[in-house]
Structure 1
């Protein structure tokens, strides 16, 4: 028994909801800092307000993944979560630009991030559930296409409304401009409509069917699915003590040497993780199958080997891109435009150009979604991803050697190629190593390796840029490029189990 091959339009339909999800994310990324500043936030406080995004993903995604694995009703397995997240995200998009105070806007950011994560996490597992092995690369690539498309349109929406339709881009002090408000309203409608379209045009396999597919795959490959052995209370206590002690020591060192306060976020997370493991040990019932918090922690400690290998790749990949999102504007304005005066016309000219550069890389990532599966079919997913990350790393480093702003469009093509691969290839590789009954849980846990490097970057890159690089932001971009190259090299330690499956299936078909 094998999953049926889906047509191009079937894959299009099941991925279309990501257009709406990315619309919400892109509007948030492009405008939330602007909303915070308008409502009175100081520039130095904005990073702390933004910490909502990675922290929320860290908490919400594994919980939603675990719950969606256990869900099955007449509405499906993953689709109920698509709609729940869509409803609350749409409400947050409508309310945020009308926030009467900063604390309301900050609260809406938390709600928006939590709601987007409720919809987004099951979408990753949705591809693993519905597509056969040989189509998963196309499935995640299609998601990458909609992510890129949504990011380009949503990022440019205030500009389009102002310059094409004459909508006001300014407002009284403490008031959000109409162009931003309308952009959020349009984003809410697009998000809800896109997710509703996917819910209405797709079906899901039942848990019994998924179990039968898993059994057939085991017979074909001879590779047994990953089964997490329940962790004992003593093991939880021991691991919790290690992580908790590491967090406590790191916290004391940061306080003693009076290091940057942002570093306490990292040490605090280590300490919190240790406490969670200890709590898991306290509520572990002997002889009972782990569930809830204990189940998630148990699965984390017994993650598939491929997932642990991909975690290394993800760490260096997302560290690099988070650095790019934070520092491209100051790097370009300082190194190429020669100014650090944020009130000057030259600075704002450079900042506007960075917006164009970001639109270019997102556009390229959307186009590469159709090229990556073709390349992966010829040379394999690992080689494809390694090449993409290496090209992206070289593109980052090339910023140092470019002095004409127009020439920056060239490296952004490479950045877009790398971004398109980051959004698709790791997931295509990962799903082959995950048991069908825990696809959502492990996809949620896999998100740890996306948000942890972001939190780390937010905590240490400021210190590195200021104290090690003397405020020369262009060197931070070079560091980000080197991180991508390390990520490219680390791809080769990854075991892609689907390669084995595809090879054996191909041989069997030839014999037939």
Structure 2
């Protein structure tokens, strides 16, 4: 650690370094608002949709820690994180051009897989980028700026099909074909994503890794002791339990989506056992060791993230089905009523992202007044009430009020957990730990993909709106869990919250 502190950046420097997130979220929002619509148009049944969505979180689970690990060890003429911004943006743009032209369901599902992997290649280094570039006292503001651009990009992206319809573009199509409004929106999304990420690449410099290491403000991470016999026993137990669960589900004809849960448990067991067999200095061994040694703050935040992202995944999957069925009275994907409802979902998604952009301006003020934890509790609580209100409102226009709460929750989820976390991470492992932190975003989505279809069919009356209610309760639980999180102390400084004051 050196006596010279990492220099603070100006407003416009932070603006430029975060601007690429506008494009990333443009593509992400088009995916979130329209993937279920595309799947239904191509013949997917409602209770099959969660499994079709499983590509998105699964790719993040695999891609983000690998990209984080690699970017921590990259230094080129283009910098440390920016090469990954560029590769991800190029691949995402191509996928956005292809997905709305998918001729059959399996092509659309495969393209979603590619799209999400590509977005993750760019997104993960952007999270580490804030930790690289900003001193601890500015990181909450940096993540809030990312939330602002996420909101702005998603507002426009989510509104595009609705706006294009009002400009005279056809919003219906022949059976099995995606309407022109959606196709043209995806083409625009690809162009905006590439341009926005390109702006950050050309307008932002990066500090060399050795300079960031000298400025490191995080406490040193202690290596936890390993009981190899206990770890081997845990690995074997997870493998047997997961494999047994998969066999039982298939043998007795339970919902096949539940096999994902069994597969996840078995995969954990395999990873533990492989780590004991694989020695030396390699990416797999280091990622598994870093996962084992992760700071306690990350463990605490994992619980908060689980309930937060379970709720968000439920919203992304089932809002189209809920609104078209309950508020527009149609489940026929070829009808004008269904497509009007689907476009209104785009408006609602634009609204919550717009409110998130406004919340990103308010959140730093909330943090100064209440601290990181209480601010997050309030915001996700508002989101939980927003999702629950879908049960009460029947006029679709009133759902815009529901989106106020969802927007505040979304902006908070995208910023405050990262502000709590980044001050606990050493500079040399910022990328890999941001990738590992993505596990706690991905795992709840995989659990949701496995369970929600089963719960919907068996316990929720097949009504998508009930899945939104489950999401609302989950957000309320997330808010309570954040009270358990301990704000880290920065070496030579006060708490993260106090540093903002």
Q: Distance in 2 between matches of 1:125 and 1:373?
A: 20
* Aligned with 1:183 (options 168, 180, 185): 185
Cα gap change, 1:499/1:405 in structure 2, threshold over 3 Å: closer, same or farther? farther
* Aligned with 2:161 (options 155, 158, 163): 158
Shift of 1:443: 0.6
Q: Contact 1:432/1:496 (CA < 8 Å) preserved in 2?
A: no
Give the equivalent residue in structure 1 for 2:397: 406
Following superposition of structure 1 onto structure 2, how do residues 70-89 of structure 1 map, counting pairs within 5 Å?
A: 70-89=73-92
Cα gap change, 1:44/1:505 in structure 2, threshold over 3 Å: closer, same or farther? closer
Give the equivalent residue in structure 1 for 2:34: 31
Q: Contact 2:303/2:481 (CA < 8 Å) preserved in 1?
A: yes
Q: Distance in 2 between matches of 1:108 and 1:329?
A: 20
Matched, 1:449 2:440: yes
* Aligned with 2:274 (options 271, 276, 279): 279
* Aligned with 1:269 (options 253, 264, 269): 264
Give the equivalent residue in structure 1 for 2:421: 430
- Look up the SS of the partner of 1:67 in the other structure: helix
Q: Distance in 2 between matches of 1:132 and 1:445?
A: 22
Q: Distance in 2 between matches of 1:35 and 1:339?
A: 16
Q: Distance in 2 between matches of 1:380 and 1:274?
A: 38
Give the equivalent residue in structure 1 for 2:383: 392
Give the equivalent residue in structure 2 for 1:296: 287
Shift of 1:367: 1.0
- Look up the SS of the partner of 2:360 in the other structure: helix
Shift of 1:176: 4.4
Q: Distance in 2 between matches of 1:89 and 1:475?
A: 33
* Aligned with 2:56 (options 37, 53, 56): 53
Cα gap change, 1:301/1:208 in structure 2, threshold over 3 Å: closer, same or farther? same
Cα gap change, 1:13/1:258 in structure 2, threshold over 3 Å: closer, same or farther? same
Give the equivalent residue in structure 1 for 2:126: 123
Deviation string, structure 1 residues 250-297 (Cα, Å, up to 9, x no partner): 224434553211100111121122112212211124xxxx43111111
Deviation string, structure 1 residues 130-184 (Cα, Å, up to 9, x no partner): 11111111111111111111111112223323322x3344455555444333322
Deviation string, structure 1 residues 195-244 (Cα, Å, up to 9, x no partner): 11101111111121111112xx36xxxxx321435857656533322321
Deviation string, structure 1 residues 413-432 (Cα, Å, up to 9, x no partner): 11111111011110111101
Q: TM-score, length-normalised on structure 2?
A: 0.91
Shift of 1:401: 3.1
Larger mean CA deviation between 468-477 and 404-413 belongs to: 468-477
Q: Distance in 2 between matches of 1:477 and 1:175?
A: 28
Matched, 1:237 2:232: yes
Give the equivalent residue in structure 1 for 2:372: 381
Cα gap change, 1:112/1:476 in structure 2, threshold over 3 Å: closer, same or farther? closer
- Look up the SS of the partner of 1:503 in the other structure: coil
Cα gap change, 1:506/1:357 in structure 2, threshold over 3 Å: closer, same or farther? closer
Task: Give structure 1 stretches of 5+ with no counterpart.
Answer: 219-223
RMSD in angstroms over aligned alpha carbons?
A: 2.8
Task: Give structure 2 stretches of 5+ with no counterpart.
Answer: none
Give the equivalent residue in structure 1 for 2:245: 250
Cα gap change, 1:274/1:13 in structure 2, threshold over 3 Å: closer, same or farther? same
Following superposition of structure 1 onto structure 2, how do residues 476-491 of structure 1 map, counting pairs within 5 Å?
A: 476-491=467-482
* Aligned with 2:146 (options 104, 128, 143): 143
Shift of 1:299: 0.9
Shift of 1:485: 1.3
Q: Contact 2:162/2:343 (CA < 8 Å) preserved in 1?
A: no
Q: Distance in 1 between matches of 2:192 and 2:243?
A: 45
Q: TM-score, length-normalised on structure 1?
A: 0.89
Give the equivalent residue in structure 1 for 2:201: 199
Equivalenced residues, count: 498
Cα gap change, 1:233/1:336 in structure 2, threshold over 3 Å: closer, same or farther? same
Q: Contact 1:82/1:195 (CA < 8 Å) preserved in 2?
A: yes
Q: Contact 1:233/1:284 (CA < 8 Å) preserved in 2?
A: no
* Aligned with 1:439 (options 386, 407, 430): 430
* Aligned with 2:352 (options 349, 361, 373): 361
Shift of 1:396: 2.3
- Look up the SS of the partner of 2:253 in the other structure: coil
Matched, 1:313 2:304: yes
Deviation string, structure 1 residues 64-88 (Cα, Å, up to 9, x no partner): 0010111122221111111111121
- Look up the SS of the partner of 2:7 in the other structure: coil
Deviation string, structure 1 residues 414-473 (Cα, Å, up to 9, x no partner): 111111101111011110111111111111111111111111112112222332233354
Give the equivalent residue in structure 1 for 2:20: 17
Shift of 1:342: 6.0
Cα gap change, 1:437/1:309 in structure 2, threshold over 3 Å: closer, same or farther? same
Q: Contact 2:172/2:336 (CA < 8 Å) preserved in 1?
A: no
Cα gap change, 1:474/1:177 in structure 2, threshold over 3 Å: closer, same or farther? closer
Q: Contact 2:56/2:116 (CA < 8 Å) preserved in 1?
A: yes
